């Protein structure tokens, strides 16, 4: 079964495009595959962040000053 794809036009900075082409040759993967993988990875980070926000949504709010005191107390800063 063929993978469904959608065509899009993307304008890259000249140096970024050159780097993508070089990476494509080095890895024997198309620029399209490299970009698709990079976008999937970036979106996965967003999903992880949103999940963490949801998990902590019910935590009580803490003032900046209180957080700094806690970090100092625990030798984090």
Task: Tell me: pLDDT of 25 over 70.
Answer: yes
Maximal C-alpha separation, the chain: 58
Domain spans of the chain? Answer: 14-73
Enter the pTM of the model: 0.60
Q: How do residues 46-70 score in pLDDT, each as one tens digit?
A: 888 888 888 888 888 999 999 999 9
Q: Which residues neighbour 29 within 8 Å (Cβ) at sequence distance 6 or greater?
A: 23
Banded model confidence at residue 3, pLDDT cuts 50, 70, 90: confident
From the CB of residue 77, how many other CB atoms can be counted at a distance below 10 Å? 8
Residues written for the chain? 77
58 secondary structure, DSSP code: T
DSSP-H helix ranges across the chain: 14-27, 31-55, 64-73
Banded model confidence at residue 12, pLDDT cuts 50, 70, 90: very high
């Amino acid at each position: 079964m063929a993978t469904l794809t959608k065509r899009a036009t993307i304008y890259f900075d000249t140096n970024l495009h050159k780097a993508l082409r070089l990476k494509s040759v080095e890895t024997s993967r198309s620029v399209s595959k490299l970009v698709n993988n990079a976008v999937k990875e970036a979106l996965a980070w967003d999903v992880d962040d949103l999940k963490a926000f949801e998990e902590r949504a019910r935590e009580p709010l803490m003032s900046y000053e209180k957080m700094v005191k806690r970090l100092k107390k625990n030798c984090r800063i």
